[in-house]
Amino acid sequence: MNVTIEWTYKSPKGMETVFHSEEMDASQAILIAEDLERTGRAKSIKFIDRFDSSWTVKEMKGYLKGIETEPHNITVYFDGGFDLTTRAAGLGCVIYYDQNGTSFRLRRNVAISELISNNEAEYAALHFGLQELELLNVHDLSVRFIGDSRVVINHLSEEWPVVENNLFSWADRIEAKMKELGIRPEYELVSRKKNAEADRLATQALNGIEVSATIERAKE
């Protein structure tokens, strides 16, 4: 979870002004807020998340303590591949998350049929990622979804309207699942190069290579 810090500074002569930090991880923001409190010149410290919700220091500490044993700080990369000749599709997702003080990377892929386009495969890949989050028991969290499909990202972030019936159906299913899990999505469009891991998983699924692995990883 990323937040900005907003605090009021009070000088020894009683003058006040408001400062805003750059966006940072919530756990880092807590450490900085505690340091500000020790100066004795900062008051009304609060955190603002990407949905413009406001948190006090006490509320943020409680939130971070509550999610410590559950998957959090979650980023999902997704990609779908489609073979027009065979109408086969390969779906890939890579999920990065923290749990119990450890960072993990989960990789999954699956081959499916009966789709009609690459755009539909991209939607199906995002939905596949959501299903994996459900298996991880992810709920009531902000989650970043990163993909190289301009159609999917712009549709779901409401930059573009969804006009194709089959894509509208996928968008509806995705939004319903988000609501069911209490997930607050943040969408990011990247180049295919930056989505290479999910793209490779989708291609492997099309080639009949199944991947299902979770590993610990060093924190950045």
The amino acid present at 173, given as its one-letter code, is R
Query: What are the φ/ψ torsions at residue 127 (nearest 5 degrees)?
Result: -65, -40
Q: Rounded distance, CA 20 to CA 48, Å?
A: 10
Please indicate, yes or no, whether residues 46 and 144 belong to a single structural domain of this protein. no
User: Structurally, how many domains does the chain consist of?
Assistant: 2
Please indicate, yes or no, whether residues 100 and 207 belong to a single structural domain of this protein. yes
Q: What is the mean pLDDT of residues 164-182?
A: 94
Q: Last residue of a domain, which of 43, 67, 91?
A: 67
pLDDT at 220 over 80: no
Q: What is the pLDDT of residue 132?
A: 97
Please indicate, yes or no, whether residues 23 and 126 belong to a single structural domain of this protein. no
Contacts 24+ apart (CB under 8 A), 27-31: 27/64, 29/3, 29/4, 29/5, 29/60, 30/57, 30/60, 30/61, 30/64
Please indicate, yes or no, whether residues 102 and 164 belong to a single structural domain of this protein. yes
Please indicate, yes or no, whether residues 126 and 193 belong to a single structural domain of this protein. yes
What mean pLDDT, rounded, does the chain reach?
Answer: 92
Q: 168 lies in which domain range?
A: 72-217
Share of the chain above pLDDT 70, in %: 99
Q: How confident is the model at residue 219 (pLDDT cuts 50, 70, 90)?
A: low
Q: Which two tokens stand for residue 219?
A: 């924190």
Please indicate, yes or no, whether residues 116 and 159 belong to a single structural domain of this protein. yes
Please indicate, yes or no, whether residues 25 and 92 belong to a single structural domain of this protein. no
- Residues 70-124 have pLDDT tens digits of 999 999 999 999 998 898 999 999 999 999 989 999 999 999 998 999 999 999 9
Q: Rounded distance, CA 71 to CA 30, Å?
A: 19
Please indicate, yes or no, whether residues 119 and 153 belong to a single structural domain of this protein. yes
Q: Last residue of a domain, which of 47, 67, 87?
A: 67
Q: What is the pLDDT of residue 157?
A: 93
pLDDT at 211 over 70: yes
Please indicate, yes or no, whether residues 129 and 39 belong to a single structural domain of this protein. no
| CATH number of the domain within which 143 lies | 3.30.420.10
- Residues 10-45 have pLDDT tens digits of 888 778 899 999 999 888 999 999 998 888 888 789
Please indicate, yes or no, whether residues 78 and 57 belong to a single structural domain of this protein. no
Please indicate, yes or no, whether residues 60 and 123 belong to a single structural domain of this protein. no
Note if the pTM is more than 0.95. Answer: no
Please indicate, yes or no, whether residues 93 and 127 belong to a single structural domain of this protein. yes
Q: Last residue of a domain, which of 67, 97, 115?
A: 67
Q: What is the pLDDT of residue 144?
A: 96
Extended beta strands in 88-183, E state: 88-99, 102-112, 142-147
Q: What is the mean pLDDT of residues 55-62?
A: 89
